[in-house]
Structure 1
């Protein structure tokens, strides 16, 4: 058997395992048979920037007799800057933390202003490259397999973009302008002709094409909350029209810090979201199978702010095919959240929560018991379990400043707190393991009781730290079951290796009593 006579299924499998388009290109150089097979894998995702060369490349690919049938996704890159009229207007709009940190460094302010002027000029030149929008729209429509559209910021290392002088200069200035802990040192605006993350107005051609092609997957990485405020625009209409065909939608919303005080900006954003425009927007996509809504609102003093769940998810059954839900920076009310989960329990199998705050139910009186995380997690045990639950970041309680770090590592058998909860809440293998263990011990102990006990211990009463890194989690019951199960599984990466990162706090398990949460770096210093 020669290379050219290998079965097509084998060659397809090889191509699917290749890491990059350069690997695919090298594969195609082996022989004609490899060249023909590898062609459909050469360019599944196309990256487009607002430059003349990039638009011309899009048009050329759309006219290629073979490639145009194999492009399944387009990522549109864009950087957007508010075109302030003068230095004073620009400085007033700079986010508050930079004003406080830079103080009276006049020379540095002036240098940033000069870079900013160049950014605005380069941005205008880049947007002109979009040219007649009909050309872009027609090019997209010729991509017969287009199924995925992503709108992202222009931090791209693609070779063909690095040779474009306008784009290269724009990115160079941008990297000079991004200072102070990597946070963006420029304000956003949804009202400008050129801005409003992700710059929705220059994207009308892509959105029109998306509607006609019935694109099924949309990811918008940075969208201003102001998009859901006020007047209706043509761009909004195009975007809403495309929702009826979507199967997957991902939105990352950011807040425009226009005011001098962060709390004022948070109040404005909450007012916008309380109008239910975001919920109505999501509900306009009735066929969604995957939803992700993330909020990037960072308060430099208080950390992440949280969006009320009532402004994001409805309580009623809305998406009959929903399989996956991911939400970040949400203020969860247990009753609302569980109503949503219960109404979708026949289809919902994958869930990811990150940096969430647990709040008391506003409909209950002051005498009602305070909310605890077991109020959320325990019902997930007694209902139909999820196939996968991902818990990342910090999970807080509104009335206390307690913080459960889901990135903590159980040192002696390498499992995170988030992983442990995922096992206790939704692992069918853990259920089977417990059934055997409980049956062997006899008595009235049940699988549900063990799982509830583990959840209560890990999330019920977190002691407030007396100093940095000295929080404590009490694991009083059933930790031996969890430890035994994990040791039997071995070092299996399927239990969410994505939670691990260096320098996190660690939990030291003790099957006889408590487990202390500590920072390993502090131990090294002692």
Structure 2
């Protein structure tokens, strides 16, 4: 199958498809095989107005709209934009796939945009994923003096920023006024629970909504939006005023689940990217009310922060308090009421404490003896327990379990030298990843002592996740545990001698074939330029086509800058096209200083109350009034 070609904004010509007679069976090709091939196509530019089917030209107008709908379902949003430029029919069909994923912040225009999308007769029917980002301007509001002192500190410690962005007192006054108005508006939204009110209205209008996301972390935001959407609080984010409401993510997740409980949707996936453990410090009845509508989940991905209530303050007692809350079984009971789970990801994040038992006990978050009949994938992070507990969990699901990831896991009284052979013998896994800071306890005196002086019985290994770097021992262990041990000799690769003995023949070929991570300097700089998600949002996607005509010695800094400029221009054009299409469909002007991308919607619907409170900065008539506070 050749590439499906579209593009060249402004040239509204029908699209061309070309098929190759590679698997010709009596001159017929199944529609399924054609559509499967289309799922990997890339739209690049317009061509002729013919659809060529084994040498027989056919006008695109003769293809039934039902087929075009199916073809369109395989395209990403960027290609949909070009697809809609072909003609009226393509524009109408492509509109159904423009917004499969909708995201918003606690921001007036975001809530207006969400309401507008929910009222659109086409867009609303095809929204499948909704993400609520927990970023807000930090509370309480900084005073004028604090605002100026913060600016002064940033200028003092950043010479480049001082040269480029130092403010006069009058400019700083105007900036503080914008900050004050924004935070007053935010407080008005929070006090009035406008996000809850809007969500309760819009969720029933998304009949095909399957996924709810809540994210309190910046990396997740950037990954979801691929850097294409200007964030509503970006101005204050750059100045260090944007964080997450404390406790982290608690209010945001509570709002999302309360809205869903009010008007339950047929949600199958729940992804919570960082919520503070205090979210679960409430009555069992209240938690049951929030999670009962999610009883039919097939996937749950839950990241829980075990750090201080406020990341700006250290609390050495947070871990112990968290462990006592989960020991009561709140999370365990929630998961037990989701019998259809196929994917279970549980992360206990604690970046401050580096001790072995820095997470929670396995039996406190997963009911001992409980069985999910269809569970295919387990990922655990920051969990402690005995190897017998872990193997009991894995063995109960061995008939369906095919993917296993353990990171920052501690075996409190047993050894990894016993657990890994059990995984190899008793499970049949297609994907295994054991990474992070791994702790265990030596069980046999004949085993080599641990690496820490004075603690010979403590097993310690540190393997970075495969997304970040190559590690021969980690990859060898993964191969050792896969497929019931059929792809690796029965010799545990927990020492360098064994790793070096088998790595070349049993591990490296597999990694190369899978193209998981083949790092060198060129790859590193390619990833900086194109991102780890590649051109088509595929992890570690190759960029060979971009460089096939360029030798290693032909790229200098100017060339790299030109390439960057071209990519930026391409993204900018996508923004413009998207904004124009959304304005045409919804009749709403863009906002966020005219560069909002997907967020370019919005008259208030429902109308929100005007902000209240005193947001006026002190009057400054000249640049000489506060020289003691603002200095170069």
TM-based fold match above 0.5 = yes
> Match for 1:142 among 190, 197, 205?
205
Q: CA deviation at 1:313?
A: 2.0
Q: CA deviation at 1:297?
A: 1.4
Indicate how the Cα distance of structure 1 residues 250 and 117 shifts in structure 2: closer, same or farther if over 3 A, else same.
Answer: farther
Indicate how the Cα distance of structure 1 residues 280 and 490 shifts in structure 2: closer, same or farther if over 3 A, else same.
Answer: closer
Indicate how the Cα distance of structure 1 residues 205 and 255 shifts in structure 2: closer, same or farther if over 3 A, else same.
Answer: same
Query: How many residue pairs were aligned?
Result: 412
What is the rounded CA distance, in whole Å, between the counterparts of 2:466 and 2:337 in structure 1? 39
Indicate how the Cα distance of structure 1 residues 359 and 321 shifts in structure 2: closer, same or farther if over 3 A, else same.
Answer: same
Partner of 2:25: none
What is the rounded CA distance, in whole Å, between the counterparts of 1:85 and 1:160 in structure 2? 29
Asked whether 1:375 is paired with 2:418, we answer yes
Q: CA deviation at 1:133?
A: 4.3
Mapped contact 1:80–1:199 kept (Cα < 8 A): no
Q: CA deviation at 1:198?
A: 5.1
Mapped contact 1:152–1:198 kept (Cα < 8 A): no
Mapped contact 2:346–2:381 kept (Cα < 8 A): yes
Indicate how the Cα distance of structure 1 residues 299 and 204 shifts in structure 2: closer, same or farther if over 3 A, else same.
Answer: closer
Mapped contact 1:352–1:390 kept (Cα < 8 A): yes
TM value normalised by structure 2: 0.56
Query: Aligned with 2:213: secondary structure?
Result: strand
Alignment of 1:448-487 (within 5 A): 450-451=489-490, 453=491, 455=492, 458-459=493-494, 473-476=495-498, 480-486=501-507
> Match for 2:80 among 21, 24, 48?
24
After superposition, give the CA deviation of every residue in 1:434-468 in whole Å (9 maximum; x if it has no partner).
Answer: 7xxxxxxxxxxxxxxx32x1x2xx23xxxxxxxxx
Asked whether 1:497 is paired with 2:517, we answer yes
Partner of 1:224: 276
Query: Where does the alignment leave 5 or more consecutive residues of structure 1 unmatched?
Result: 91-110, 190-194, 361-370, 435-449, 460-472, 504-526
Q: CA deviation at 1:76?
A: 1.2
What is the rounded CA distance, in whole Å, between the counterparts of 1:301 and 1:120 in structure 2? 36
Asked whether 1:251 is paired with 2:273, we answer no
Alignment of 1:203-282 (within 5 A): 203=256, 206-208=259-261, 212-231=264-283, 236-258=287-309, 262-282=315-335
Partner of 1:365: none
Mapped contact 1:187–1:257 kept (Cα < 8 A): no
TM value normalised by structure 1: 0.67
Query: Aligned with 1:177: secondary structure?
Result: coil
| Larger mean Cα displacement after TM superposition, 290-299 or 130-139 | 130-139
Partner of 1:385: 428
What is the rounded CA distance, in whole Å, between the counterparts of 2:322 and 2:245 in structure 1? 15
After superposition, give the CA deviation of every residue in 1:372-410 in whole Å (9 maximum; x if it has no partner).
Answer: 21221111111131121122323223652622425589x
Asked whether 1:56 is paired with 2:56, we answer no
Asked whether 1:172 is paired with 2:235, we answer yes
What is the rounded CA distance, in whole Å, between the counterparts of 1:258 and 1:36 in structure 2? 49
Partner of 2:557: none
Q: CA deviation at 1:124?
A: 1.3
What is the rounded CA distance, in whole Å, between the counterparts of 2:254 and 2:465 in structure 1? 39
Alignment of 1:93-492 (within 5 A): 121-127=184-190, 131=194, 133-153=196-216, 155=218, 162=230, 168=232, 170-177=233-240, 188-189=246-247, 197=250, 199-203=252-256, 206-208=259-261, 212-231=264-283, 236-258=287-309, 262-299=315-352, 305-360=358-413, 371-397=414-440, 400=458, 402-406=460-464, 416-427=472-483, 431=486, 450-451=489-490, 453=491, 455=492, 458-459=493-494, 473-476=495-498, 480-486=501-507, 489=510, 491-492=512-513
Indicate how the Cα distance of structure 1 residues 86 and 143 shifts in structure 2: closer, same or farther if over 3 A, else same.
Answer: closer
What is the rounded CA distance, in whole Å, between the counterparts of 1:242 and 1:502 in structure 2? 44
Over alpha carbons, which structure has the higher Rg?
2
The structure, 1 or 2, with the larger RCO (C-alpha pairs under 8 Å, 6+ apart) is 2
Q: CA deviation at 1:70?
A: 0.9
Indicate how the Cα distance of structure 1 residues 498 and 223 shifts in structure 2: closer, same or farther if over 3 A, else same.
Answer: farther
What is the rounded CA distance, in whole Å, between the counterparts of 2:181 and 2:353 in structure 1? 28
Query: Aligned with 2:194: secondary structure?
Result: coil
Indicate how the Cα distance of structure 1 residues 337 and 118 shifts in structure 2: closer, same or farther if over 3 A, else same.
Answer: farther
Q: CA deviation at 1:140?
A: 1.3
Indicate how the Cα distance of structure 1 residues 417 and 17 shifts in structure 2: closer, same or farther if over 3 A, else same.
Answer: farther
What is the rounded CA distance, in whole Å, between the counterparts of 2:140 and 2:90 in structure 1? 54
Indicate how the Cα distance of structure 1 residues 385 and 490 shifts in structure 2: closer, same or farther if over 3 A, else same.
Answer: closer
After superposition, give the CA deviation of every residue in 1:130-170 in whole Å (9 maximum; x if it has no partner).
Answer: 638455323211111011111113755779974xxxx73x4
Q: CA deviation at 1:6?
A: 5.8
Q: CA deviation at 1:65?
A: 2.1
Q: CA deviation at 1:52?
A: 2.8
